[in-house]
Structure 1
Amino acid sequence: MSLFLGTHQNKLDAKGRVSVPASFRAALRKEQSKENNPLIFRPSHKMPCIEGWPLSIFSELTNSLNSLDLFSEEHDDIATTLYAEAWPIDSDREGRILLPDILKEHANLTDAVTFMGLGTIFQIWEPSAAAERCKTARQKVQQKNLSITPQSNIKRIES
């Protein structure tokens, strides 16, 4: 599985297109060569940003819906949150994607965007909001003394 790493800033053109960072495109080529699928873009339900999901990772996330009763209110609410504003988007030959207006509005995007790698997914932010998010996340990790171990356990660091 390829990872999306780093923070990258690009311009949004007049048509609403933006170039996906080269390192992200390389990660996507590895992922898409397995299935040749588009990326899934959706508004974050927690933050004012857009989430970019390889289809295989998005499918893993949505598989958990199968554990809920298809006709339950919980299933309906989660399915609506995940699918109703999700957009499958392919990039063009130059590695650009066309972001739908609803997604640009959710993230307050105008002329510049920041791509933030989050491992198996990435986010697209308005640049000043991205900088603030990084700062806040770093502060929270420090305040809570969080760390991650090689066994994939998150723990508090004892001082």
Structure 2
Amino acid sequence: MSLTFRGDSLHKVDGKGRVSIPAGFRRVLEAGDPEWEPGRAPRVAIAHGDRESRRLECFPIVEIERIARNIRRMPKRSDAYRLLTRLYSRDVIDTTLDDNGRIVLSQALRERFGIKGEARFVAALEKFEIWSPDIYAEEEARVEELFDELGDEDPLSLLDAFDEDVETGGSA
């Protein structure tokens, strides 16, 4: 199974902070949890992000472990090491989905990220993000401006320099 999240959806957040993870996202979390097996709930790592962050970042276990391996390769006394260790180790909550496919967002997290009665779940390739719907609408407006700047150019042309088939001489 692919470890790529796709799509977005809006979900109710109850008074206790419980919110359902989209079914498609749960399948990716299952595939990305080495300890998962049928009948068990998958785990997810939820990163708070830096002070300027406007969303929660949620990773399958294999992805947060990949990030940790890369951080461990960095010089231990570097500013980058300290920053990334804080963001992707100290400020991460490891949790397990409940039997109904939900997670609990603490009151502190809901307040920090402006999540009240609903949460927007947004795919971001190897992770998914949880946003306040209002804050996400602002982000979407900025992305629409980028589309306007792109004009009639094919958005996939932005990948030309990174296309593996182009670099290796393969065909698309």
TM-score by length of 2: 0.77
Alpha-carbon distance between aligned partners in 2 of 1:77 and 1:39, rounded to the nearest angstrom: 21
The answer as to whether partners of 1:49 and 1:106 remain within 8 angstroms in 2 is no
Runs of 4 or more off by more than 6 Å in structure 1? none
| Higher deviation after alignment, 22-31 or 111-120 | 22-31
Instruction: Write out aligned runs for 1:96-107 (5 A).
Output: 96-107=102-113
| TM-align CA RMSD | 2.3
SS in 2 for 1:117: strand
- Give the greater-gyration-radius structure (CA): 2
SS in 1 for 2:32: helix
Q: Aligned residue for 2:8?
A: 7
Q: How many residues align?
A: 152
Match of 2:72 among 62, 66, 69: 66
Match of 2:163 among 151, 155, 158: 151
Instruction: Write out aligned runs for 1:18-37 (5 A).
Output: 18-32=19-33, 34-36=34-36
**What is the CA-CA distance between 1:27 and the residue it aligns to?**
2.1
Alpha-carbon distance between aligned partners in 1 of 2:108 and 2:90, rounded to the nearest angstrom: 12
Unmatched 5+ stretches in structure 2: 37-41, 166-172
The answer as to whether partners of 2:6 and 2:125 remain within 8 angstroms in 1 is yes
Q: Aligned residue for 1:157?
A: none
Provide closer, same or farther for how the CA distance between residues 29 and 82 of structure 1 changes in structure 2, counting only shifts above 3 A. Answer: closer
SS in 1 for 2:110: helix
TM-score by length of 1: 0.82
Does 1:132 find its partner at 2:133? no
% same residue: 21
Alpha-carbon distance between aligned partners in 2 of 1:152 and 1:135, rounded to the nearest angstrom: 31
Unmatched 5+ stretches in structure 1: 154-159
